[in-house]
Amino acid sequence: MSAADVIIDVRGLTKSYDGRVVVDQVDMRVERGRIYGFLGPNGSGKTTTIRMLCGLLTPDQGEGSCLGYDIRTQARLIKREVGYMTQKFGLYDDLSIEENLDFFARVYGVPQRRQRIDGTLERLGLASRRRQLASSLSGGWKQRLALAACLIHDPQLLLLDEPTAGVDPSARRAFWDQIHELADAGMTVLVSTHYMDEAERCHELAYIAYGKLLARGTVDEVIAGARLLTWSLTGPGLAAAAPVLRAASGIRTVAPFGATLHVAADSVEAFEAALAPFNTLKAVPTPASLEDVFIALMQDAQDNFGAGAA
Ligand SMILES: Nc1ncnc2c1ncn2[C@@H]1O[C@H](COP(=O)(O)OP(=O)(O)OP(=O)(O)O)[C@@H](O)[C@H]1O
Ligand SMILES: [Mg+2]
């Protein structure tokens, strides 16, 4: 793999606000054509990290490159080749679909603007709605337009910050199909999300809490790395058992999973001791899900760094 195929390569990114560290020594490496998922609870530092990666925000410490450019000194060059979809989509409500695209095309100095806009409208299925105001669009259509706007200058890297928040399941699915098509054609995508089904659609993941990267790798690697022993519980009295199990020693997480309860423990002995008072419940060992792992990581993070954090 040549250096040109490493699209994001940063080390030790750190940022504080008002004396509080919100991104703490984050390393990240993303190769060309990969879809890299960025997960973590609200306020964990995802947006701040994304802004540092593309040169919009200068880190207090840390260094690295994005698309081969230095994130500290070559921000202007990075921005030309990055499509950044912000959490609020960043569209102009009182402009039409076509006018929004025209605006972004002008900002980026796109050559043969007219053709490029027409092609984009066609490709994204927005041609028949070109004169509709952005404000009148549903969540799914707004998202489609926002994606079109950040693709208009033919970037090499897409930074998508919670692109599917407030979008219904079928639009989310269509969106992800499109992201995979783009990646197959060589686009690199960094996407933050709170949805597990979306995390599972990424080639690689990173999980951040309290500004610290706690896990990274493929879905299988992240699950294996957590070393959770997990059981699925069913039977009468499940709801009453949950808080008692949660408080038992050696129990990592207790989470409802449909009509069952997923319980993760440090050891078989700890699990058996915690379950002993509940003879109406049936326990079946089950592979840990990504959600089990993220819940466990978040709880460990609360125990380790949470005290004193805002
Ligand atoms: N400009 C700022 N000034 C002060 N504090 C900030 C600023 N930007 C972010 N923060 C704080 O930094 C922390 C990390 O915020 P950030 O927006 O990066 O989190 P996030 O992971 O993107 O959260 P969410 O999932 O809610 O979008 C939060 O506590 C936030 O309040
Ligand atoms: Mg955010």
Of 16, 44, 208, the residue with max ligand 1 atoms within 8 A of its CB, to mutate for a pocket test, comes to: 44
Q: At what angle do helices 113-123 and 97-107 cross, to 10 degrees?
A: 130
CATH topology classification for 3-223: Rossmann fold (3.40.50)
Do residues 66 and 82 lie in contact, with contact meaning Cβ atoms separated by under 8 Å? yes
Phi, psi of 83 (to 5 degrees): -105, 120
Element (H, E) at 261: strand 260-265
CA dihedral 273→278→284→286, nearest 10 degrees, is: -70
Give pLDDT tens digits for 105-148: 999 999 999 999 999 899 878 899 999 999 998 888 888 899 99
Give pLDDT tens digits for 22-58: 999 999 999 999 999 999 999 999 999 999 999 999 9
Q: Which atom of ligand 1 is nearest to the CA of 23?
A: 14
CA distances from 308 to 20, 48, 210, 270, 289 (A): 10, 20, 11, 30, 30
CA of 205 relative to ligand 2 center, distance in Å: 16
Rounded Cα gap, residues 40 and 34, in angstroms: 19
Q: What is the model's pTM?
A: 0.91
Q: 193 in helix, strand or coil? A: coil
CA-nearest residue, atom 4 of ligand 1: 17
Q: What's the mean per-residue pLDDT of the chain?
A: 92
Domains 3-223 and 229-287 share a fold: no
Cα–Cα nearest to 62, from 16, 12, 8: 12
- Ligand 1 neighbours by CB, cut-off 6 Å: 17, 22, 40, 42-48, 87
Q: Where are the domains of the chain?
A: 3-223, 229-287
Ligand positioned closest to the Cα atom of 48: 1
CATH number of 229-287: 3.30.70
pLDDT band at 1 (very low <50, low <70, confident <90, very high): low
Do residues 97 and 134 lie in contact, with contact meaning Cβ atoms separated by under 8 Å? yes
Give pLDDT tens digits for 237-265: 999 999 999 999 999 999 988 899 999 99
pLDDT band at 3 (very low <50, low <70, confident <90, very high): low
Order across the sheet with 61-66: list the strands.
20-31, 6-17, 61-66, 69-70
CA of 4 relative to ligand 2 center, distance in Å: 28
Residues contacting 286, CB < 8 A, separation 6+: 230, 231, 232, 262
- Is the pLDDT score of 309 beyond 60? no
The environment of the single-atom ion ligand 2, i.e. residues with CB closer than 5 A, is: 46-47
Element (H, E) at 214: strand 212-217
CA-nearest residue, atom 5 of ligand 1: 17
